[in-house]
A and B are shown apart, each in its own frame.
Chain A
């Protein structure tokens, strides 16, 4: 960023090199880089799925059903309906990554608005919002997700909404905490004395400073959202057949664990790797961006 511009009032007051410095530190964190590489790999597979997948993920070929992995033409074998496992896993990544990002997006918007309002206005606004958050936290996370999706009706989109709502409280808390610590800082008071409106102060001045802890939370949240949505699909509350969703793939093949281990095992490994990627990256980011939360 331009050094001279930071001095003017309409620029975020963070040190100019903060993000560049953080990135440099991140590249030196081996675990975080492994996580980033895993995520990048799955992202590339997801984006270029139609080019990279050897077959159509939903086309059945009954004569080739339950072909074991490493067979000619089927690197990871086929499932109980003769669909190519590799292609289904590649396409499954598309769904899981979209779920992760969209769910966290929903949480961020909801939690961001609530946390910002609670932290900025304080008083009764804060008390009411935090009471709602506490009540939501009184529900065990998984149960809340399952119930919301059961009420809305089972579908992939509703699963994302349910996960987004259930995860919202933690973002509201993180953002509220940062806002409270920034609210009384000199630069905010200075802006306020210049007559900047509340909305502008909230979104343009304070919010960028809540970014670091939020990024950490969001990275870990994507991994958790992927796990939750796989669980929902496994229970029949998320993706519906024949969608190549990883959790659903495991659910619909569970009766074949005696005969075809790979149909159950491989999608699980895909989930594990993706979530591991986000957790590794999230842990690394936490160490760098949010030293207070380090465990």
Chain B
């Protein structure tokens, strides 16, 4: 009896729309359902993460050639080589090396970089804010513009707006990112002299980072009444890398939004709303867009994960002091522990972001959970 009473309280008909309804039904009627779902996904994460660690380990361990020799160069003598091998644990049997590596990783120890002698985890966390800041900006740029263009293309299907947007999107995914970055520098930094060619902030500005997210730091300083200098400089520096990094996601998001929107606009409830005389703007933005955005959210999440990792080229070109540039230098310097640690870190990050996206998606789209 009580069950029925509770059910009536969360009567679906009174709730405004799909996502809220899904959430309400999850929290209200089946409190353990979501927990079970999350738990299941988290458990399935363990073998994946173990596989990632294993693959990263063996990728480096089975690299042809002697890492110690490669790191020290041809002129190193036998003694030096033996010492480095011992330091890296390379004189141990492979299985033992793997066991040691695994136990260190589990404890959150990725070892030290050969070049800087610093802890790799420290080096990574120092550079993480720069990478996240750029990836967030690029995702924001791509999402806003992508959704606007995608909706416009879908509303005016087969018009010049549609053709231009879709052709532009196709060109966007066909373009080499590093080339686009150079062309942007050529046009905006060299010919027009509007924006800087690289770095995160003007080197002449002295400032002590607070959060290490320079845009945020700039805002904080601005609110404290310490001038707009930091914010403006940080903003100017991030514009070109944002465009370069955000172009491919922009194209993908615009295409997804368009096709999803076209799909939704065909649905009966949209037709009904139109027939009932609801204003076209309201039909499109209030009713259709909400549902059309479901697949777009997933795409945005995946793209964000990719941007965090795929910024190697962009960061290198714009001398952006993030993880991508750091890994690139580690590869160039043959700093194997750093490469190993960097890849592992990014891959785990990537897996976790994808999981979050999956879970978020299942929250907003109940149909997925029912499968």
Q: Which of A266-288 contact B (CB under 8 A)?
A: 267-268, 271-272, 275-276, 279-280, 283
Determine whether A148 belongs to the interface, using a CB cutoff of 8 Å to chain B: yes
Determine whether A143 belongs to the interface, using a CB cutoff of 8 Å to chain B: yes
Determine whether B306 belongs to the interface, using a CB cutoff of 8 Å to chain A: yes
Determine whether B313 belongs to the interface, using a CB cutoff of 8 Å to chain A: yes
Q: Which of B18-47 contact A (CB under 8 A)?
A: 47
- Of the 9-residue stretches A43-51, A132-140, A171-179, which lies at the interface with chain B? A132-140
A264-B182, A279-B174 given; A143·B346 CB < 8 A: yes
Whether B179 pairs with A250 at a CB distance below 8 angstroms is yes
- A153 contacts across to B, CB distance below 8 A: 64
Whether B48 pairs with A268 at a CB distance below 8 angstroms is no
- B259 contacts across to A, CB distance below 8 A: 294-295
Determine whether A231 belongs to the interface, using a CB cutoff of 8 Å to chain B: yes
Determine whether A113 belongs to the interface, using a CB cutoff of 8 Å to chain B: no
CA distance A148 to B59 in the complex (A): 8
Count how many chain A residues have C-beta atoms less than 8 Å from C-beta atoms of the other chain.
Answer: 46
- B175 contacts across to A, CB distance below 8 A: 268, 271-272, 275
Flag A219-237 by CB within 8 Å of B: 1 or 0 each.
Answer: 0000100010011001111
Contact of A250 among B174, B178, B309, B327 (CB under 8 A): B178
Determine whether A183 belongs to the interface, using a CB cutoff of 8 Å to chain B: no
Minimum distance in angstroms from A43 CB to a CB of chain B: 17
Q: Which of A149-189 contact B (CB under 8 A)?
A: 150-153
- A230 contacts across to B, CB distance below 8 A: 176, 178-179
- B86 contacts across to A, CB distance below 8 A: none
Determine whether B82 belongs to the interface, using a CB cutoff of 8 Å to chain A: no
Q: Closest residue to B310 on the A side, CB-wise? A: A142
Determine whether A254 belongs to the interface, using a CB cutoff of 8 Å to chain B: yes
Minimum distance in angstroms from B127 CB to a CB of chain A: 15
Minimum distance in angstroms from A227 CB to a CB of chain B: 6
Determine whether A52 belongs to the interface, using a CB cutoff of 8 Å to chain B: no
CA distance A271 to B346 in the complex (A): 28
Flag A252-272 by CB within 8 Å of B: 1 or 0 each.
Answer: 001001100100110110011
Whether B179 pairs with A138 at a CB distance below 8 angstroms is no
CA distance A27 to B332 in the complex (A): 47
Contact of B343 among A143, A251, A279 (CB under 8 A): A143
Whether A227 pairs with B176 at a CB distance below 8 angstroms is yes
Whether B59 pairs with A236 at a CB distance below 8 angstroms is no
- A231 contacts across to B, CB distance below 8 A: 176-178, 313
Q: Closest residue to B334 on the A side, CB-wise? A: A150
Contact of B52 among A139, A142, A236, A265 (CB under 8 A): A139
Flag A112-149 by CB within 8 Å of B: 1 or 0 each.
Answer: 00000000000000000001101110111111001110
Flag B149-193 by CB within 8 Å of A: 1 or 0 each.
Answer: 000000000000000000000110111111110110110001000
CA distance A235 to B330 in the complex (A): 13
Determine whether B283 belongs to the interface, using a CB cutoff of 8 Å to chain A: no
Whether B310 pairs with A143 at a CB distance below 8 angstroms is yes
Q: Closest residue to A259 on the B side, CB-wise? A: B190
- B180 contacts across to A, CB distance below 8 A: 268
A140-B310, A250-B178, A295-B256 given; A150·B170 CB < 8 A: no
Minimum distance in angstroms from B357 CB to a CB of chain A: 14
CA distance A152 to B59 in the complex (A): 10
Q: Closest residue to B309 on the A side, CB-wise? A: A140
Contact of B332 among A236, A268, A271 (CB under 8 A): A236
Contact of A143 among B55, B256, B312 (CB under 8 A): B312
Contact of B170 among A138, A152, A235, A276 (CB under 8 A): A276
Whether A135 pairs with B51 at a CB distance below 8 angstroms is yes
Flag A182-224 by CB within 8 Å of B: 1 or 0 each.
Answer: 0000000000000000000000000000000000000000010
CA distance A264 to B183 in the complex (A): 8
Flag B297-337 by CB within 8 Å of A: 1 or 0 each.
Answer: 00000000110011011001000000000011001100000
Chain A to chain B contacts (Cβ below 8 Å), 29 pairs: A132-B51, A136-B55, A138-B354, A140-B306, A140-B310, A141-B306, A143-B312, A143-B327, A143-B346, A146-B312, A150-B339, A151-B60, A151-B63, A152-B63, A227-B176, A231-B176, A231-B313, A235-B328, A236-B332, A247-B176, A250-B176, A257-B190, A258-B186, A264-B183, A271-B175, A272-B174, A275-B176, A276-B170, A294-B259
Question: Chain B residues in contact with chain A, CB under 8 A?
Answer: 47-49, 51-52, 55, 59-60, 63-64, 170-171, 173-180, 182-183, 185-186, 190, 255-256, 259, 305-306, 309-310, 312-313, 316, 327-328, 331-332, 339, 343, 346-347, 350-351, 354
Question: Chain A residues in contact with chain B, CB under 8 A?
Answer: 131-132, 134-136, 138-143, 146-148, 150-153, 223, 227, 230-231, 234-237, 247, 250-251, 254, 257-258, 261, 264-265, 267-268, 271-272, 275-276, 279-280, 283, 294-295
Seed contacts A138-B52, A140-B305, A257-B190; 7 additional CB < 8 Å A-B pairs:
A138-B49, A139-B347, A146-B312, A148-B59, A251-B178, A265-B183, A272-B179
The 10 A-B residue pairs with the shortest CB-CB distance in the complex, in nearest-first order = A268-B179, A135-B51, A140-B309, A275-B174, A276-B174, A151-B63, A150-B331, A295-B259, A257-B186, A142-B310
